Amino acid sequence: MKIDFTKMEGLGNDFIFIDDRDDGIKEQTDFSALAKKLCSRHFGIGADGIIIINNSKINDFKFRIYNSDGSQPQMCGNGMRCFAKYLYENKMISERTIEVETKAGLIIPEVFTDNDDKVKFVRVDMGEPVLIPSRIPFITENEIAIKEKLFFDDIDNQEKEVEVTVVSMGNPHAVLFIDDIAAIDVRKQGERIENHERFPEKTNVEFIEVVKEDELIMKVWERGAGQTLACGTGACGALVAGYLNKKCLNKVLIHLEGGDLEVEWNLENNHVYKTGPASFVFSGSIMI
């Protein structure tokens, strides 16, 4: 079977887009297995995940994402910006504001264009942060998971405990504030926190260095994908955690390895907004 695809990236977080609005591909393959195959950077196209475009009965379109390991997260902020750009520039929708059905609920991206009607950047209403531990999910007796201690066995001379603030933006995030982000071993730290027993569905992990009250530096370990250059939901979770810990304002610029994001927590409506770029890489077809 031959399928057409488009590869896109948001701050270096890259995705393979597949249009399956007629469910023709779904009927002939398993998307989890397909993600593992296509995302391989040696034997496939190479990406952090695949994103499936589906019709929606309740919104404009349905968004489904599968990580490179075949797991299915609820949402992806960088992927959503690419999703909006893809729909608009392929004239699948004419409105600049799009209602998208995700496993995390309704997400509303808005595209901003240049004089040639090409998408320059996308602002996404990411909805309300989830702070109730049972809904994240995260195991704790506290009503909100701020400055939670995670304990580990002494492995490879790493810390026996780390302090995290836990929040969900449709998917779980453990946020750590550190003094020197350059000194962090993202893989070793991220992997053991991702799989800690207090996260029943595992977790994404964000390492944050505070530059000043409106500027953060972030590195990320993504659940199911490993270390990536950027994570949109993670940037939103980092802002919320930073504000709750009185480390930053409710609007910040976040420097990720793949580029910068502007993130704001609107305290009046409790929604988090994320603004950043999305780029086309290439299109093609592949036999599966």
pLDDT digits (tens, 9 = 90+) for 204-254: 999 999 999 999 999 999 999 999 999 999 999 999 999 999 999 999 999
Q: What percent of the chain has pLDDT over 90?
A: 97
Tell me, what's the pLDDT at 153?
81
The answer to whether domain 2-126+276-287 and domain 133-269 are alike in fold is yes
- Does domain 133-269 bear CATH number 3.90.190.20? no
Q: E strands, the chain, where?
A: 2-10, 13-19, 49-54, 61-67, 100-102, 105-113, 119-125, 148-151, 161-168, 172-177, 204-212, 215-222, 226-228, 251-256, 259-266, 271-276, 279-287
CA distance 274 to 98: 15
Q: Is the predicted pLDDT of residue 36 greater than 90, yes or no? A: yes
Secondary structure class of 236 (helix, strand, coil): helix
Assign 156 a pLDDT band (cuts: 50, 70, 90).
low
Out of 82, 231, 236, 248, pick the active-site residue.
231
For the whole model, what pTM was predicted? 0.90
What is the chain's mean pLDDT, rounded?
Answer: 96
Out of 76, 82, 236, 248, pick the active-site residue.
76
Tell me, what's the pLDDT at 160?
85
76 is catalytic: yes
Tell me, what's the pLDDT at 154?
65
Residue type, 265: W
CATH class of the domain defined by 2-126+276-287? alpha beta
Q: Is the predicted pLDDT of residue 40 greater than 80, yes or no? A: yes
Q: Where are the domains of the chain?
A: 2-126+276-287, 133-269
Residue type, 186: V
* Residues 208-220 pLDDT 10s: 999 999 999 999 9
Q: Is the predicted pLDDT of residue 158 greater than 70, yes or no? A: no
